[in-house]
Amino acid sequence: MNKLVKEIKLSNVSIKLIHGDITEEKVDAIVNAANSRLQHGGGVAGIISKKGGPTIQKESNEYVKKFGSIETGNVAVTSGGNLKCKYIIHAVGPVWQGGSNNEETLLYRAVYNSLKKADERGLDSIALPAISTGIFGYPIEKATKVYFSATHDFIRQNPTSLRDIRFVIYDEKYLDHFLKEFDIK
């Protein structure tokens, strides 16, 4: 069962830190940490695809066939399949290569563009995982700074329909890093 660990308000938006399974969140959209071809085989993408049913992979394949691969930092949208959300926003984060290949900017864009896409659809709530920190190898202690910077900037720069932004973290070791960064101003 998912557990609220911490919550802060920024403007009219609640930013929540949740310990648990992102596929169990009742939100308008969940963000999937995807690869550029939207092949959801492992990590959080594999779990989302498995629990969400074959519709998610089918719609992902159709999206790539129609529009091509998703550039790193960008997003694509499918339905939520069998999950409790209306949409899945597939965000392509960077593969960590030591920090010298613009990874910070690309991760920032993946988070920012996820929030922007939810706002463009008039959504109220969104849940994000720790994008790029799994098999893509982005160090969690560096990634959390980027997640909160992108979230803070998005809220400050845009009037938004979003009222509920959740970071849903499964791994307890990652949770400590999120808590260190969670007090954004």
Question: Residue 104 falls within a domain, yes or no?
Answer: yes
Q: What is the pLDDT, as a whole number, of residue 23? A: 97
Q: Looking at the predicted structure, is the pLDDT value of residue 185 above 50? A: no
Q: What is the pLDDT, as a whole number, of residue 136? A: 95
Confidence of residue 75 (pLDDT cuts 50, 70, 90): very high
Give rounded-to-5 percent helix, strand, coil for the chain. Answer: 40, 25, 40
CATH number at residue 86: 3.40.220.10
The secondary structure element, H or E, covering residue 6 is strand 3-10
Q: Looking at the predicted structure, is the pLDDT value of residue 44 above 80? A: yes
Question: Residue 4 falls within a domain, yes or no?
Answer: no
34 φ, ψ (degrees, to nearest 5): -105, 165
Summarize the confidence of residues 4-28 as an average pLDDT: 95
Q: How many CB atoms lie within 10 A of CB 43?
A: 17
Question: Residue 5 falls within a domain, yes or no?
Answer: no
Both tokens of 107, joined, read 């991760």
Question: Residue 10 falls within a domain, yes or no?
Answer: no
Of all residues in the chain, the percent with pLDDT exceeding 70 is 98
Query: DSSP class of residue 185?
Result: -
The C-alpha torsion from 161 through 164 and 167 to 172, rounded to 10°, is: 180
Question: Residue 142 falls within a domain, yes or no?
Answer: yes
| Span 78-132, pLDDT tens digits | 999 999 999 999 999 999 999 999 999 999 999 999 999 999 999 999 999 999 9
Question: Residue 3 falls within a domain, yes or no?
Answer: no
| Span 166-182, pLDDT tens digits | 999 998 889 999 998 87
Q: What is the pLDDT, as a whole number, of residue 82? A: 97
Q: What is the pLDDT, as a whole number, of residue 50? A: 96
Q: What is the pLDDT, as a whole number, of residue 158? A: 83
Q: Into how many domains does the chain fold? A: 1
Mean pLDDT of the chain: 95
58: domain range?
18-181
Q: What is the pLDDT, as a whole number, of residue 183? A: 63
In angstroms, what CA-CA distances link 16 with 41, 85, 128, 168? 28, 17, 10, 8
Rounded Cα distance between 143 and 106, Å, is 11
